[in-house]
Chain A
C-alpha cells in the first residue's frame, strides 16, 4: 500500500517534470515559429478560436441568464435585487468566464487537438515528417499550442461579455431590474483589478489547456485505443489542472 502510493507519487512527479521540460521546449521555439510559421498559427487560432465561437457565446448567454435568475431569487429576499449586476459581473469576470471557457475549450478544441495529433502519430504522419526532415514539433505541435494560447483569452473575454449581456437580458428585460442600477452598481463594485484577475486566469488557463492537449496527443500510444484514451485524459487533466490553478490564483488575489 505504502509502496504503491510511493510509485504513484514518483510517477506523478516524473510526468510533471516531463511536462515542464516539454513546455520549456515549446516556449523556446515560440519566437521562431511565430515568425516563420505565422500562417499555420493563424489557421490554428481559427480552429481553436473562431470555430469555438458559437458554443462559447451560447453557453455564455445562458450562464449569464442563470446567474441573473439565481441572483435575483436570492438577493430579492434582502431587497437587494439591484445587486444582480454586481453578482453576475463578479461571478462572470472573475470565475465562471475563465473556468467555464477553459472547460469548454478542453472539450471542444482540446479533444480535437489531442486526437488530431494522436491520429497523425498513429498513421505515421509524424514519422513521415521526421523523414522529410521536418520537425513535427515545429510543424504540428507548436502552431496548435500557440493557436490555443492566443485564442483562450479572447474566448474568455467574449464569454464574459456575452454572459453580462445574458444577465442583462434576464435581469433587466425579464425581471425588470432598473437598467441604471444594474450597470451602475456593477461598475461601482468592479474595478480593473477584478478584470485583471480574470484576464490573468484566462491566459494561464490557455497555456494549461493547450499544453495538456498537445502533450496528450503527442505522447499518445499510436493505436485507436491509445488515441481515444489520450482524448479523454485531455479533458480530465485539463479540468483538474484548471480548477486547482483557479483556486491558487483566486487565493493569491485575495491577499490584499
Chain B
C-alpha cells in the first residue's frame, strides 16, 4: 500500500504542476487580449504606406499602450491603407486633431502606431477618423535617399 500512495502522490504532483504550467503559459506568458476584453472605441486612420504594420500591433501614446490595431485594409478608391484602431475607453479624451504615425520599436523592431496629441477641444470618439497621419518609414527608401544625398554632398 505504501507504493500505491507514492504513485498517487507523484501523479498528483505531476498533474497539478502540469495544469499549473498550462495555466501559466496561457495567462502569464501571453498578453491575452487586454483590449478585446475591455471597453474600447474604434477610430480609423488612413496611411499612404503602413510598412509592415500587422494587426494586434500596439497603439501607443506618450509611450503607453492605449489600444491595438484591429484591422488593416486597402481602400481601392483612394488607393491608401485604412487602419482600424481599438482604443481603451478609459482614454476618451484624445484630441481629434492628434496625429498618428507608423513607428518602429528599435532599429529592427516591430511596427506600431504612435499618437501625438493635438490641441483641439473636441475628442476622438467611436467611428471618428484621425486626419493627420504619417506613413511608415520604409528602410529601403531611406537608405536610397541617404546614398544619393551622401553622394551629392561630397561633391
Question: In the complex, is A directly touching B at CB under 8 Å?
Answer: yes
Residues of chain A touching chain B, judged by Cβ–Cβ distance below 8 Å, are 42-43, 45-46, 49-51, 53, 78-80, 83, 89, 93, 151, 153-155, 157-158, 160-162, 164, 186-192, 194-195, 198-199
Q: How far is the CB of B65 from chain A (nearest CB, A)?
A: 8
Chain B residue with minimal CB distance to A150? B15
User: Which of B15, B31, B58, B108 meets A45, CB within 8 Å?
Assistant: B15
A-B contact pairs, 6 of them (CB 8 A): A83-B109, A157-B19, A157-B22, A160-B29, A189-B110, A199-B22
Query: Is the CB–CB distance between A151 and B14 below 8 Å?
Result: yes
For residue B69, give the distance in angstroms from its CB to the closest CB of chain A.
Answer: 12
Q: Which residues of B contact A198 (CB under 8 A)?
A: 25
Question: Which of B5-13, B129-137, B144-152 has 4 or more CB atoms under 8 Å from chain A?
Answer: B5-13
Chain B residues near A80 (CB-CB < 8 A): 106-109
Contacts of B30 in A (CB 8 A): 187, 190-192, 194-195
Which of A46, A187, A190, A195 is B7 in contact with, Cβ under 8 Å?
A46
CB-CB contacts of B45-79 with A at 8 A, as 1s and 0s? 00000000000101000000100000000000000
Residues of B in contact, count (CB < 8 Å): 30
Kindly list chain B residues whose C-beta atoms are within 8 Å of the C-beta of A160.
21, 25, 29
Residues of B close to A89: CB separation below 8 A: 29
**B155 interface residue (CB < 8 Å to A):** no
Q: Who on chain A is nearest to B32 by CB?
A: A192
Q: Does B139 contact A (CB under 8 A)?
A: no
Q: How far is the CA of A151 from the CA of B22 in the complex (A)?
A: 13
B17 lies within 8 A of A78 (CB): no
Contact B11 A42 (CB under 8 A): yes
Question: Which residues of chain A are within 8 angstroms of B14 by Cβ–Cβ distance?
Answer: 45-46, 49-50, 53, 151, 154
- A residues in contact with B121, CB < 8 Å: none
Is B26 an interface residue, CB under 8 A from the partner?
A: yes
| Contact in complex: B11, A50 (CB < 8 Å) | yes
Closest to A82 in B: B106
Check B107–A195 contact: CB distance below 8 A.
Answer: no
Task: Flag if A49 contacts B107 (CB, 8 Å).
Answer: no
Question: B31's closest neighbor in chain A, by CB?
Answer: A187
**B25 proximity list for chain A (CB < 8 A):** 93, 157, 160-161, 195, 198
